[in-house]
Chain A
Amino acid sequence: MASGRFGIHGGQYIPETLMNEIQNLEKAYLRYKKDKDFNSELTALLNDYAGRPSLLYYAEKMSRDLDGAKIYLKREDLNHTGSHKINNVLGQVLLAKKMGKTRVIAETGAGQHGVACATAAALLGMECEIFMGKEDTERQKLNVYRMELLSAKVNVVTSGTQTLKDAVNETMRDWVSRVEDTHYALGSVMGPHPFPMMVRDFQSVISREARAQILEKEGRLPAAVVACVGGGSNAMGTFYHFLKDKFVKLIGCEAAGLGVDTEKHAATIARGTLGIFHGMKSYFCQNSEGQIAPVYSISAGLDYPGIGPEHAFLHDINRAEYVPVSDEEAVSAFEYLSRTEGIIPAIESAHAVSYAMKIAPDLPKTENIIICLSGRGDKDVAAIARYRGVNLHE
């Protein structure tokens, strides 16, 4: 059995053409992970370019309004490019460069990972191509243009359901065609080993900071840490340094779309079953024949039929809890945070905000909750307006 297992999940279920490359990637990552120069270079990029550490903001008005646990927002939305995606991308593109690669490719759903990737490629002087489902390019036109401004080529994916999973398929197909000079900068804690481990490590900066910040501000650990989950990279990064703190509840919010009892959702833990896809064993939305289901969410970033293998494992051992949050609940939270705190969250992150709003009133005021605000919502304003029946004449 290949390495990189989380319980029964994970593995390396990929075409033979990629095996040598992925083993080289694992070796290179394990080497540079311990390399002093690599780490100081990465830290400099994260701090001086991406703007880390990100703030842990006490949402006082929101806390007062909910009248329960104090709400803290881990402000990944304030990072350069507007989301947590930059943490992973700076790590991977720097690594790719050290490996002698000259070209990076990536999938994107909402466009946040694509934009982050195009940004890092521009900065570090790499050629960049992004694969994005046709439906998503229409939902997120602004991000498409943004990537092109950053001199990335955006490939519109018209196969399958034309969303995130198909973008991953197409990026893998490109990678097998041109593996020599190309690194696939996978955007989440998914895919074949070493991606789930490597992306988690790069994203774990979120919880490393948040844990220290909350101890400094509150002198105690949070009662719960809440994050949205598609593939699960911001959630894994937010959970990681709290894993050993057994009394900290870890809560991942999945996209329930129009509801988990309809066919229009992307709630993998609530409705998925064990499968093997995109290089990993994990839970997937699929039919009894093992055909991957077309999933749905208002949020392009959560519109994915699987979940990272480490999340599947944390679910199996009951260390983390995964809850479905519907489009309507997420949109309400999107509006609530905007008017209450003057912070427009990404619609992905709004799923986490929504669930935190549900649990905060039942907790004592001495407790606190950390929500990972994984991205900012500028990209979603037009879509939310549409959802509310307002036509902005984009």
Chain B
Amino acid sequence: MAALLVGLRLRQLGRALLRSPWAIVTMVLGAVGALGLLSLLALAVTGMRAALPDAVPDALVLLGSALVVGWAVGAVLTSTDATLAPERFALLPVPARRLLPGVLLATALGVGGIATACALLLTLIGWSVAIAPLVAAMLVLPLQLLTCVLAGRAVAAVLARTLAGRRARDVVLVIGTVLLICAGLIAQGAIAALTALPDAGTAIGVLAEVLAWTPVGAAWGVPHAIASGSPLVALGQLAIALATAALLAWVWGRDFARRLTAPIVGGGGGRVRSGGWIDRMLPDSPVGAIAARGLRYRMRDPRHLVNVIGVVLLPLILVATNLLVGGDALQAGADDGGAGGMPALLPALAGLVLMSVAQLDTAYDGSALSAHVLAGVSGTTDRAGRALGIAVLYTPLLLLVCVGTIAVMGRWDLLPASLGATLGTAALVVGLGSAISVWMPGQTPAPEQSPFGRGSSGGAQALLGALLMVVAVWTVGLPVLGTAFAAMWLPWLGWVSLGLALGIGALSVWLGIRIGGRALERRWPEVLEQVSREP
């Protein structure tokens, strides 16, 4: 049974890859990214082992605990992936206990499982500070991996019934996004807090000691305790780790067995408010209708909502990080002018999120785009409606972010520069995205799928599109960004930047709609075919 399920899983992964050459490019890029992260980890572990051999076990306990928590959170974020849901097996005359090992193994065979296994193998470098902890670490490594995978399954099992309703799922996804985007800030805050303590090393040591006794860190506590020469502690922590794994397995297994006979049926979300003001605000023409639909989707479809939150949060977080880390520099900058005003330009980074918003907008529709083709909507109308929908929502949001940033800095003389850089970048990106997506619509998670599931990166086409857009921002957008930057020293240049931004931005959007619209007119069926393919 296990072999059958693992084979099924491998075949599913294989098929997903062989569907198009872009999928292979995407996979290669994903693998390169994962390898990059893993080599970073390898470097960190090797470096630490050489420089601070005493601190290595502590750090590894923290890493292990983070992995377990990561799996638990990841399980919630990807909870809509039903490839191995118990309900799939409900019609088979096979008891749960015969299915469980195979399902667990198949779950571990994803990208996450393989990456975790590699990461755990790399930690062995760190444990090699002495022979005894290395042997202990090798022995508990399977237990560590098992704890990770089981933590994910058990959390998903506990929350499964709650998450069956569409609205609950949407809410969880939104909270997850906020957490994910803020993860860097939280980590930075935690590190800042730790280093602010009189003795940072001791604090990490204490934290590791505590975590090693908890279910999340116990499996890493074993080699940790061996390294510090206390076999009795190691034994106690091994007991906790084993008990944790057993408990997680029991929770997951019980839920699995129950769902075989009482499957969870996805629920709806009830009625919605009509939001008639959206329709009244926009013209009752095809362009207005497409814009209004875009606005509704940005509130109701978690895949779009995630981007809206990203546009607002990303710059705010960067500003906050800047304040947290370089608070003094900022203060100094505020005093004597010059490069210290840089945070004023950070809102322009919202353009990074807008790149995928603009380019993938068509792809998010999936085969529903056929409604536009059947109604004979012209390419220009389609492009204009989408651009209008994006502009109506994002312009006020970007204005707010700029004003907020400037208010925090107290440098009102830089407001025009901030607005110029931000609105200029955004408009440039939206125009380019409108045109690019006709040839490279990119790939998005299917509707009803998690925004973090397969295809959430937009695939290779989106990466190439983003590259093109970055190049354009640094060439076509250079006058805007250059003057905005120079406004640090000569604030009146901010007005020049804002003027240039409005001019270049408007031109970009107009050209994007024109060129993209004409091309779309010729390529409707081809674009429809590309976006109808689901990952």
- Same complex for A and B? Answer no
Residues of A within 8 A of B (CB): none
Residues of B within 8 A of A (CB): none
